[in-house]
Chain A
Amino acid sequence: MSAIAGFLASPIGRKVLMALTGLLLFLFLVTHLAANLLILIDAQAYNEYSHALISNPLIYIAEIGLLILFVAHLVSGIIIYNRGRAARISAYEEHRWAGGPSSKSVASTTMILTGAFFLIFVPLHVWTFKFGTYYDAGGGVRDLHRLVIEEFQNPLMVLFYVVGMAILGFHLWHGFGSAFESLGVTHSRTLRRVGNVTAVLMAGGFAIIPLVILLTGGLR
């Protein structure tokens, strides 16, 4: 046990944890996006899919799992950030990015901020949709589709989601490639490009849902 704790408290073990929890959260988001795109395609299928999820008792285990991933990622992120700051006691008078092979970017320098945004976003998001108005679609099935459509009639709500997904995109722009490097898998320009494309697809994929609903009124 102490050997495990020692690993996770080491600077490298903590990054391995950071990468694993980040990638698992990412995988959750992939399934979450795929499911939510149904909103734009088929209201009934969306409600049935949601019903299958929320009526399954295993959902509680999955939710606790997600919460653990989230908290572990967040806590390690804050520790890593603080350790990094503590390691440089005086700031440079003049500092420039070196460029060339470096992957340093606006995204990589704002990970703690874009990450912290989820501390606001996730509770609000869960509050709005999980604990939002209960509409009945008949047959004991919750009409989540209607709730989503109604929420996204509000342009401020749509703006919040679009900006939020852009912030997610920034986090993944650096995070995706970085995770594979932390795990010692590989480092390459290609991996970084794949990470950038993934980030844009993820952010764009999510952002398109509220945008389409606002612009077209959504499927009824």
Chain B
Amino acid sequence: METGTFTLNLRVWRQANGTADGQLVEYTARNVSPDMSFLELLDVVNDDLVKQGKDPIAFDSDCREGICGSCGMVISGVAHGPQRATTACQLFMRHFEDGDTVTVEPWRAKAFPIIKDLVVDRSAFDRIQAAGGYISVDTGGAVDANEMLIPKDSAERAMDAASCIGCGACVAACKNASAELFIGAKVTQFSLLPQGQPERNRRVLAMIEQSQSEGFGPCSNEGECEAVCPKEISVAHIQTLHREYTRASLRRIFGFS
């Protein structure tokens, strides 16, 4: 054993494909350096598996710097692991101790079907975005940056909402597999800005309708989503979503717009 390195017992969810039965399989990771990220740990385990001619553990990753949102997995029972405000790729092994047993599972939600091992299909989020999470802009000459005045406070709150990376941890942690924190962040981001106004009502109605048909559940206001969110998106966005949705529905009921 190299100095400063340690050994970790892993129990990793292995599932050959979406329809196969899965189960936890035990692996021992030796020479774990405290400076490794959790994904690097899985890389090392996979190197070993490949050398032994076995199928490596499938998991998603891209940026490995906490901004793309692809590396979702449930580590020790918590989405992205027990470290707050951290994606799995930014979770460093120094937070674990020699001899720890760590369980690794995929996001579990009807709307996020498992593709293989830790990889799930998060395209339901893309379809929710496509249903309304955009603004329509007629292209032409670029508008001067300060043409449209936006109060600093609104700009900042919209930025906070826009920091959502769409990783799906909120869904994974919610007992109802609800997507309301994700949708709340997207809806809030646009509802605060002038560019978001023309499509304000139909956006929120369409996104919720899409979320329902994807099979995400309702919100029970437990707030596990905020607690696991790597970007610490506040559940206040869910309250904004509820206001926006109720407003749009009332306008529809009373025949405005």
Chain A residues with a Cβ under 8 A of chain B: 3-4, 6-7, 10-16, 80, 83-104, 108-109, 111, 174, 177-178, 181-187
Contacts and interface: CB of A to CB of B under 8 A. Distances in A.
B74 interface: yes
Contacts of B218: 11-12, 14-15, 80, 83-84
Q: By CB atoms of chain A within 10 A, which of B177, B216, B241 has the most?
A: B177
A102 B242 contact: no
A80 B236 CA distance: 21
A181 B250 CA distance: 18
A104 B105 contact: no
A13 B245 CA distance: 8
A181 to B, nearest CB: 5
A108 B222 contact: yes
Contacts of B11: 93
Contact of B76 (A94, A183, A185): A94
8 contacts: A7-B250, A13-B249, A84-B176, A87-B111, A87-B177, A89-B108, A98-B79, A187-B236
Interface of B is mostly: mixed
Contacts of B209: 10
Given A10-B245, A181-B235, A95 B77 contact: yes
Contact of B178 (A13, A84, A93, A104): A84
Interface in B187-227: 208-209, 211-212, 215-224, 226-227
Given A80-B218, A96-B77, A102-B222, A185 B239 contact: yes
B228 interface: yes
A117 B235 CA distance: 29
